[in-house]
Structure 1
Amino acid sequence: MDPKLTMFISLIATSGVFTVFLCMYAYIKRKEIPGAYTFVIYTATEAIYIFAHAFEMASSTLAEVKRWTILEYIGIGAAPAIGLLIVMQYVGLNLSRSKIAALFVIPAITFFMVSTNEYHYLFYKDMYFRENVPFPTTDIVIGQYYIVHGAYIFGCMLAAVVLLLRRWRQTKKAYRLQLVTLIMGQFMPMTGAFIYLMGITPYGIDPVPMILCITSAMYIWAIVSTRMLTIIPIAKDRIFESMREGAIVLDFADRLVDFNGVINSMFPGLTTDTLGLTLDEAWIRLSGRPFPVLRSQDGAQEEFSWRAADGKEFYYQTRSSVVRGRNGEPIGSLLMLIDVTEQKLLQDQLERLAYYDGLTKLLNRTEFLRRSKMILEQDLIGEKSTCILLFDIDHFKSINDTYGHDVGDLAIQHVVRVEKRLEADMPSVMIARYGGEEFVMALPACSLDEAILLAERVRAQLAAEPMSGSFGTIAVTASFGLTQASHRGESLEMLLKHADMALYQAKRAGRNQVQVYDGPVEATFSTSR
């Protein structure tokens, strides 16, 4: 065999090997690749064409050449139509089954015409070995149907190129590399076929099988570097980018396929460099932890908070839905993110108004009573003791009368600040503003000795920290009344009454002290607290 012929056949065989590799890869990754079976068939038909052409070139008789030509046209006829179908799927054009079948009418007729050419000679009128060439190559005298077949092949490849070029402006930069690969995968074989038909190729050899070696190498490179095939846009760009909500598209393996501009404004650190990573991997890059919302159920809704670089906190509601292919099979998921920060802040504000005191930001009386009843019920079931502590500011009326109600409000806030510092040692303590200058604490699962110790610490710290301001320095002390629930199941109202009695005992005894309820006493109380 001529060395030059050996070189050409070797190049063609290499092209066939690359194409078979692509076919096998697409089949192995079929669960992760949208439209994998279409690509498998596409590369399989190309492989048939390439290897059949290699055997044709190695043939020494016209009979052998004709047999391999029939097999060759399985690929030549079908591959351009399948390539057009892949491109249409890529750009989001879904065809009905009847229209897909229509694409293969001409290829089917072509195969029939080539197989039966000896009876009608409509495809090629004659086939012969070229003269004055260093090795045997064949040429044909074309028939009428060959023109139909050629026009269809060029039409399919040209349509694919046009569709991809029209997609250029709408394609994000992250996808343009794979778009170029797809364009070249259609344009280069089309150009090679045109040059071959013009009769200007060396020795009259068909360059398309060798060009497919280049395009197959490009596909392999694109698969490795840009994750082509596993990252195919499955959302309509115009609708996608005009959405008011943030949208993240994930493939079957939970990898980032795309996200719209709203997501960029929500999370500026989420860039196109993260495409191809799983959502958790991308989120770890962004925040140091996986994505905070589960995405296991179709239609699931959850909320999460996000702190921006400037420290501002945002709240987002997520809605997950499955993206399905033409045949209803799941090919990915769509994650919608809705900014609910305003609603969340309004809800928090309403909650504060309903449950918290405006001046001190402590629980108000109503919410304290509701929660304390629940604590008592739980401690009673668990046979634990709960302590109730009431305390109020000594001589508060005198502070208001002397300095005004503004300073009286400052005295109330001063007491809360001191108490909050000491409360850190007992995080289960619940404190509320009971009314006016009076405060109340519920101490769940707390012994009486522990409660006395906490009350004494608060009392002593208040006595040691007078309040200072433009009004001067004012000593702010408080009196405390403490009671403990027994296991007889006293009501909260009864416990509060007992704590109030102990508080008045502290007032009668000189104020600035802690008294524990030890039974009812007869007393006449002063109106000045």
Structure 2
Amino acid sequence: MNPILTMFISLIATSGVFTVFLCIYAYLKRKDIPGAYTFIIYTAVQAIYIFAHAFEMASDTLAQVKGWTMIEYIGIAGAPAIGLLIVMQYVGINMNRKRISLLFVIPTLTFIIVITNDFHHLFYKSMYFRENTPFLTTDTVIGQYYIVHGAYTFGCMLAAVVLLLRRWRQTKKAYRLQLLTLMAGQFLPMTGAFVYLMGVTPYGVDPVPMLLCVTSAMYIWAIVSTKMLTVIPIAKESIFESMREGVVVLDFADRLIDFNGAMIYMFPGLSTQMLGLTLDEAWIQLSGTPFPVERSQDGEQVEMVWRNTAGREFYYQIRSSVVRGRNGDPIGSLLMLIDVTEQHLLQDQLEQLAYYDGLTKLFNRTEFLRRSKSLLTEMQRDNLPLSIILFDIDHFKNINDTYGHDVGDLAIQHVVAIVKRLEAEAPEALIGRYGGEEFVIALPGCSLEQAAILAERIRAQLAAESMSGSFGTMSVTASFGLSQAGSGQFELSGKAGQTLESLLRDADIALYQAKRAGRNQVRVFEPQAASPLLT
């Protein structure tokens, strides 16, 4: 074999060995390498191309050359597209399967056209051995599709280089060697292919397989020195856009400079046309009002409520941070909006369970007692009266025994609905479910006479409105007992320094008197003798 040819084949074989090493390394480290399988395929197809080219150069006949050329294109057809995918993964550009498959339309057509070239000559019009060369070297007359494949190959490589160059300024110096290595991996083969097509290479030899030896060596060096495959820098833009929290960047004049995709999801009306507006101006376009909360100090948190066009409320926790320049001076601010709606809903549910009765949505006994004690203390401090109305449903046990507990629950809800209708007359009233069918109302600043009038209205409404359902029609009545804490003009029934427990006990005594008197009536507690205030 000619020594020059031996040298070329040896260089190509060395390139193939380096490439196979990279392929094996990527496979062994596949769990630690992001996008490992793409790199494995990339190095595997390059190895096929390199070794097939070496066998092509050692061939003695055109038939052998054509056979090895077909094998070469198993690798060379798709390698540029796979290389572009590797670069896109490196810079954080995600592609769905449909778009990835579109990248391989031309490489697939290239391979099919190459293996069927003898039938149409779209790729090579002819192939022949060169004359006056120290060893057999083939040359070709290219066909129309060769131009398509060449343009696509150069396009993929150029796009990869451009993507890497765009990341240069955003990449820390520690990772720029990785960028240089990846750019060389695309730029050197592209340059070699261009020189080969210009026909200025020694003896017409394709330099690309030998240049891949250089790029493979650079990859191995970068893997060892910068952990190129296992440690990949993430672009700031990728972090910014992938954050689940909404982020707004403002300049020193509170103008909108940037925001991420999460903000658009949270506030669908937000658009890039608002960039340059102040935050208040942008918010007026969104909701008709300025930004609803004041910006907090650096690191502090505030909360805002947002109601969307469907009327649903969202709660956002806002964290503000100062953005400083290189000299440490403030140059703007950054707002991070965290969706805490679910936490609010959970908190509301826990509050409902802790403070409210599940059937009636009134205060439960514990919460009513807690609030009423505070109210009583306040009224005594201001020398104002506090009246208590205690009432329960008449013959409730008979309702449960005759119709069942479901109808009993309906009776309770029927009573509560009527009581709530009269809330407008006493907006400060506290209403609670005191027991099973027993209810209690605390009326701050309300005299005993006023409380008796309100109780009588409730009683009359209950007596007048029957309850209907699948069980038929049923009249639901209730009995009422009243007491009062107060001083001065309430000497007859109010006692200074009364406790809530004594007030409730007095109201219970009056309620018992109403029951004994025939039910469906209002009685007020009197210390000396029980006599109805209203009959």
Alpha-carbon contact 1:362-1:431 (below 8 Å) kept: yes
Give me the whole-angstrom Cα distance separating, in 2, the residues matched to 1:454 and 1:273. Answer: 59
Q: Which residue is equivalent to 1:108?
A: none
Specify the SS of the correspondent of 2:358.
coil
Equivalent in 496, 506, 509 of residue 517 of structure 2: 509
State the match for 1:293 in structure 2.
293
Q: What does 1:207-356 correspond to in 2, within 5 Å?
A: 236-356=236-356
Distance 1:343 1:492, change over 3 A: same
Q: Is the 8 A contact 2:513 2:530 kept in 1?
A: no
3-state SS, counterpart of residue 494 of structure 1: helix
| CA displacement at 1:521 relative to structure 2 | 5.7
Counterpart-to-counterpart distance in 1, 2:445 and 2:365: 21
What does residue 22 of structure 2 align with? Answer: none
Task: Identify the residue that residue 450 of structure 1 maps to in structure 2.
Answer: 450
Deviations 1:107-134 (A, max 9, x none): xxxxxxxxxxxxxxxxxxxxxxxxxxxx
Q: How far apart, CA to CA, are the structure 2 residues paired with 1:329 and 1:453?
A: 69
Provide the C-alpha distance between the structure 1 equivalents of 2:163 and 2:406, rounded to a whole number of angstroms. Answer: 74
Shift of 1:407: 0.2
Gaps of 5+ in 2: 1-161, 171-234, 488-495
Residues in 2 aligned to 1:456 and 1:252: alpha-carbon distance in whole angstroms? 65
* Contact 1:467 1:475 (8 Å CA) reproduced: yes
Question: Deviations 1:393-446 (Å, cap 9, x if unpaired)?
Answer: 111111111111100000001111111111123211110100000001111122
**CA distance in structure 2 between the partners assigned to 1:249 and 1:453 by the alignment:** 61
SS in structure 1 of the partner of residue 407 of structure 2: helix
1:9-20 equivalence runs, <5 A:
none
Q: For the residues of structure 2 that align with 1:341 and 1:410, how far apart are their CA atoms?
A: 33
Report if aligned partners of 2:510, 2:530 keep a CA contact under 8 Å in 1. Answer: no
1-structure distance, mates of 2:344, 2:430:
24
| Deviation at residue 163 of structure 1 after TM alignment | 11
Q: Which residue of 1 aligns with 2:422?
A: 422
Q: Taking structure 1 as the reference length, what is the TM-score of the superposition? A: 0.54
Partner of 2:387: 387
Are the counterparts in 2 of residues 319 and 337 from structure 1 also a CA contact under 8 Å?
yes
Q: What secondary structure, in the 3-state scheme, does the structure 2 residue paired with 1:419 have? A: helix
Give the RMSD, CA atoms, in angstroms: 2.3
Query: Structure 1 residue 522: deviation in Å?
Result: 8.7
1: CA distance, partners of 2:381 / 2:363: 25
- Contact 2:296 / 2:302 at 8 angstroms: preserved in 1? no
Q: Which amino acid aligns with 1:393?
A: I
Q: Within 1, Cα distance between the matches of 2:530 and 2:288?
A: 64
The aligned residue for residue 500 of structure 1 is: 508
Aligned-partner SS, 1:424: helix
Does residue 490 (structure 1) correspond to residue 498 (structure 2)? The answer is yes
What secondary structure is seen at the aligned counterpart in 1 of 2:527?
coil
Matches within 5 A, 1:29-108: none
Partners of 1:326 and 1:238 lie apart in 2 by 23
**8 Å Cα contact 2:481/2:509 also seen in 1:** yes
Corresponding residue number in structure 1 for 2:375: 375
How far did 1:448 drift? Answer: 2.0
User: Cα 1:324–1:396, aligned 2, differ >3 Å: closer, same or farther?
Assistant: same
Contact 1:304–1:315 (8 Å) recurs in 2: yes
| Contact persistence 1:264–1:271 (CA under 8 A) | yes
CA distance in 2, matches of 1:287, 1:386: 44
- Return the letter of the residue paired with 1:301: Q
Cα deviation per residue 1:256-282 (whole Å; 9 max; x = unaligned)? 111110010011011222222222222
Match of 2:411 in 1: 411
Q: Is the 8 A contact 2:245 2:336 kept in 1?
A: yes
Q: Which runs of 5+ in 1 are unaligned?
A: 1-161, 171-234, 524-529
Tell me the CA shift for residue 520 of structure 1: 5.9
Q: Give aligned-pair identity as a percent.
A: 73
CA deviation string 1:189-212 (max 9, x = no partner):
xxxxxxxxxxxxxxxxxxxxxxxx
Paired with 2:164 and 2:334, the residues of 1 have a C-alpha distance of: 24
State the one-letter code of the partner of 2:518.
G
Give, in whole Å, the separation in 2 of the partners of 1:452 and 1:322: 61
Q: CA deviation at 1:309?
A: 2.1
State the number of aligned residues. Answer: 297
TM-score using structure 2 length = 0.53
1:337 counterpart SS class: strand
Deviations 1:485-526 (A, max 9, x none): 124121000000011111111112221121111116699xxx
Q: Which residue of 2 aligns with 1:27?
A: none
Instruction: Classify the secondary structure of the residue corresponding to 2:425.
Output: coil
Shift in alpha-carbon separation, 1:410–1:290, aligned structure 2, 3 A:
same
TM-superposed deviation, 1:464 = 1.4
Deviations 1:213-241 (A, max 9, x none): xxxxxxxxxxxxxxxxxxxxxx9433211
User: Contact between 1:389 and 1:442, CA under 8 Å: does it hold in 2?
Assistant: yes
Equivalences for 1:172-191 in 2 at 5 Å? none
Distance 1:256 1:294 in 2: 16
Give yes or no for contact 1:501–1:520 (8 Å, CA) kept in 2.
Answer: no
**Match of 2:250, SS?**
strand
Partners of 2:481 and 2:274 lie apart in 1 by: 61
Instruction: Indicate whether 1:467 and 2:467 are aligned.
Output: yes
Give the Cα separation in 1 of the matches to 2:476 and 2:338: 49
Residue type of the alignment partner of 1:300: E
1:280/1:425 Cα in 2 relative to 1: closer, same or farther (>3 Å)? farther
1:431–1:439 CA contact under 8 A, matched in 2 = yes
CA drift of 1:382 comes to 1.4
Q: Structure 1 residues 425, 276: closer, same or farther in 2, change over 3 A?
A: farther
Cα distance in structure 2, aligned partners of 1:271 and 1:456: 60
Opposite residue 457 of structure 1, the aligned amino acid is R
Matched position secondary structure for 1:435: coil
Describe the SS at the equivalent of 1:306. strand
3-state DSSP of counterpart to 2:481? strand
| 1:315 aligned counterpart, secondary structure | strand
Instruction: Summarize deviations over 1:155-190 as a string: whole Å, max 9, x none.
Output: xxxxxxx9999389x9xxxxxxxxxxxxxxxxxxxx
Q: Which residue of 1 aligns with 2:173?
A: none
Shift of 1:245: 0.7
Counterpart of 1:158 in structure 2 is none
Distance across 2 between alignment mates of 1:431 and 1:281? 45
